[in-house]
Amino acid sequence: MTDTNKVPGDDAGFDMDEYRRRQRARARVMAILLVAFVLLIFAVTIAKMGLASR
Amino acid sequence: MPAEWQDFWALTKPRVMSLAIFTALVGMVAAPVAVPPALGVAAIVAIALGAGASGALNQWYEVDVDAAMRRTAARPLPGGRMEKVSALHFGVGLGVFSVLLLGFATNWLAAAVLAISILFYLLIYTVWLKPRTAQNIVIGGAAGAFPPLIGWAAATGSIGWDGALPSLPWMLFALIFLWTPPHFWALSLFVRTDYAAANIPMLPVVAGERSTRRHIFLYTLPMVACAMAIPALGQAGALFAWVAGAMSVIFLGLAAQVGFRREVAGDSMRPEKRLFYFSILYLFLLFLTLMAEALLH
């Protein structure tokens, strides 16, 4: 019988729920940063094209 | 267990980063070339990430020092909330990314200066000077002085080294460089037991409290001279001259109070703390005034 919230063989009582919560939070922040990055590069590209066409 | 994202954020030393952002913004706004908003935002983001990378790499290298100091013991690495290698990967990745972003968005001279500032903070200040000499904060102060120069370079494509008289970005560099010792020595007076515990040869640990107090006052003099030289050399207007003059008089007064007193048991080092916090306000107000003048011009 294995506790689904514990990593098998881990005597320290590894909390899988906490592990997943942290992963989800980090993934959410990464998603926001990636969207911000894409928007930033898009804006930079448009601005540089504007400068080049002057 | 993966570290929380908040720990990565803490690794970037957000308060130090905010000063870098602000001074870089002033360098960019004060430059004679207008930057398209999108490129300006990208440049500021890149400089912020570069400052964050410096902070992360500093914490990666100094984990043992931070663990020995009460002020820093709760940081993510000494607090045991993050693997050391994660901090290294994060710092290197952020540093490389920030330099590439700045180069792509503005120009490669600005990117090169940003790269130099990150390497200076890590190699010259953190690795070489800080554990070896009481002059660590004097020479290492250059690391924090780069942002206005980077902002200026991002806007103009040059570092303003073009005449006999020092140009504005170099005067701003000099101002932050000269401001750093009295600012950090005031801090080091009221946390000197921390530095002693970590074997960091800060001036109060090596030369004693009396010598540090004299140094604070003496280093305030060239800083004030530099601040006043900016309007005197025509690099700023009358508003800056008034603000810098008034703030410098107060700074000198507080520095003299710290410089020529002896600590009284149980006084909680109030004058030193007052000087430390005022020094932050001093730099902020001077740069804010410069930015206001540039925007109103």
Same domain, B32 and B86: yes
pLDDT digits (tens, 9 = 90+) for A16-51: 999 999 999 999 999 999 999 999 999 999 999 998
Chain B residues with CB-CB distance to A51 below 8 A: 36
Q: Do A40 and B45 touch (CB under 8 A)?
A: yes
Asked if pLDDT for residue B162 goes beyond 90, the answer is: no
Distance in Å, alpha carbon of B208 to nearest chain A alpha carbon? 46
Tell me whether B45 touches chain A (CB under 8 Å): yes
The mean pLDDT of B185-214, rounded to a whole number, is 92
Burial pattern A11-24, b for ≥16 Cβ within 10 A else e, equals eeeeeeeeeeebee
Same domain, B181 and B121: no
pLDDT digits (tens, 9 = 90+) for B76-119: 999 999 999 999 999 999 999 999 999 999 999 999 999 999 99
Tell me whether B80 touches chain A (CB under 8 Å): no
Asked if pLDDT for residue B290 goes beyond 50, the answer is: yes
Residue B143's pLDDT band (cuts 50, 70, 90):
very high
Q: State both tokens at A26.
A: 């980090």
Tell me whether A44 touches chain B (CB under 8 Å): yes
**What domain range includes position B46?**
1-159
From B142, B159, B176, the end of a domain falls on B159
Q: State both tokens at B239.
A: 């508003």
Same domain, B269 and B196: yes
Chain B residues with CB-CB distance to A26 below 8 A: 2, 4-5
CB pairs under 8 A between A and B: 36
| CB neighbour list of residue B108: distance below 8 Å, 6 or more residues apart | none
From B159, B190, B208, the end of a domain falls on B159
Residue ranges with strand state E in chain B: none
ipTM of the complex: 0.83
d(CA B217, CA B227): 16
The mean pLDDT of B196-201, rounded to a whole number, is 91
d(CA B2, CA A26): 9
Residue of B nearest to A22 (CA): B4
Q: State both tokens at B9.
A: 């954020």
Same domain, B135 and B9: yes
Residue A11's pLDDT band (cuts 50, 70, 90):
low
Same domain, B52 and B34: yes
Same domain, B141 and B288: no
Same domain, B130 and B168: no
Same domain, B78 and B172: no
Q: Do B39 and A18 touch (CB under 8 A)?
A: no
d(CA B124, CA A24): 38
pLDDT digits (tens, 9 = 90+) for B32-82: 999 999 999 999 999 999 999 999 999 999 999 999 999 999 999 999 999
Same domain, B4 and B41: yes
C-alpha of B80 from chain center: 27
Same domain, B168 and B295: yes
B172 three-class SS: helix
Of B184, B139, B168, which Cα lies nearest the Cα of B236?
B168
Alpha helices in chain A (DSSP H): 16-52
d(CA B142, CA B120): 8
Chain A residues with CB-CB distance to B105 below 8 A: 44
- Please report the pLDDT score of residue B225 as a whole number: 98
pTM above 0.90, yes or no: yes
| Domain layout of chain A by residue ranges | 11-54
- In contact, B251 and B279? CB cutoff 8 Å: yes
Distance in Å, alpha carbon of A54 to nearest chain B alpha carbon? 13
Give the number of other Cβ atoms within 10 Å of residue B119's Cβ.
14
- Please report the pLDDT score of residue B145 as a whole number: 97
Residue B19's CATH number:
1.10.357.140
Residue of B nearest to A38 (CA): B42
Residue A1's pLDDT band (cuts 50, 70, 90):
very low
Average pLDDT over all residues of chain B: 94
Provide, rounded to the nearest whole percent, the portion of chain B with pLDDT above 70.
98
Same domain, B141 and B184: no
Residue B261's pLDDT band (cuts 50, 70, 90):
confident
Burial pattern B277-290, b for ≥16 Cβ within 10 A else e, equals ebbeebbeebbebb
Q: Do A26 and B36 touch (CB under 8 A)?
A: no
The mean pLDDT of B232-244, rounded to a whole number, is 96
Same domain, B238 and B139: no
From B140, B159, B178, the end of a domain falls on B159
Distance in Å, alpha carbon of A4 to nearest chain B alpha carbon? 16
Reduced DSSP (H G I as helix, E B as strand, rest coil) percent helix, strand, coil of chain B, to 5: 75, 0, 25
Residue B262's pLDDT band (cuts 50, 70, 90):
confident
Interface test with B, best of A41, A44, A51 (most B CBs within 10 A): A44
Of B161, B147, B94, which Cα lies nearest the Cα of B116?
B147
Residue A2's pLDDT band (cuts 50, 70, 90):
very low
- Please report the pLDDT score of residue A15 as a whole number: 87
Asked if pLDDT for residue A9 goes beyond 60, the answer is: no
Asked if pLDDT for residue A5 goes beyond 70, the answer is: no
d(CA B234, CA A2): 76
How many structural domains comprise chain B? 2
Question: Letter for the amino acid at B130?
Answer: K
